[in-house]
Amino acid sequence: MEWKNLELGYKNRLDTLRKKSPYELLGITPDSSLDDAKRAFRTLVRLHHPDQSDPFMRTHGEEVTKLLNLAMRAIEAEKSR
């Protein structure tokens, strides 16, 4: 397997993640509580945080973490209305 093929797979994965709703990104339903969202967010950030990953995966982890942060902000804004 060539490295460039792996990189393409991760780019495709990021494209797929970008198309998901904030709730889908966190793996919760829209009727979940804010506490449930925070719990899911923390779990996923621990898994994908760039400081916790190998150097090879750091860029991917950064992008996923950015998406998770945006999703959490959107959910917090919606739940605070």
Beta carbons of 78 and 70 less than 8 angstroms apart = no
Task: Please indicate, yes or no, whether the overall pTM of this predicted structure exceeds 0.85.
Answer: no
Expressed as residue numbers, the domain containing 22 is 3-79
Q: For residue range 57-73, what is the model confidence (pLDDT) as tens digits?
A: 888 889 999 999 999 99
Residue 69 belongs to domain with CATH number: 1.10.287.110
Overall number of domains in the chain: 1
Q: For residue range 17-66, what is the model confidence (pLDDT) as tens digits?
A: 999 999 999 999 999 999 999 999 999 999 988 887 777 788 888 999 99
Segment 12-16 long-range contacts (CB within 8 Å, at least 24 positions apart): 13/60, 14/60, 14/63, 14/64, 14/67
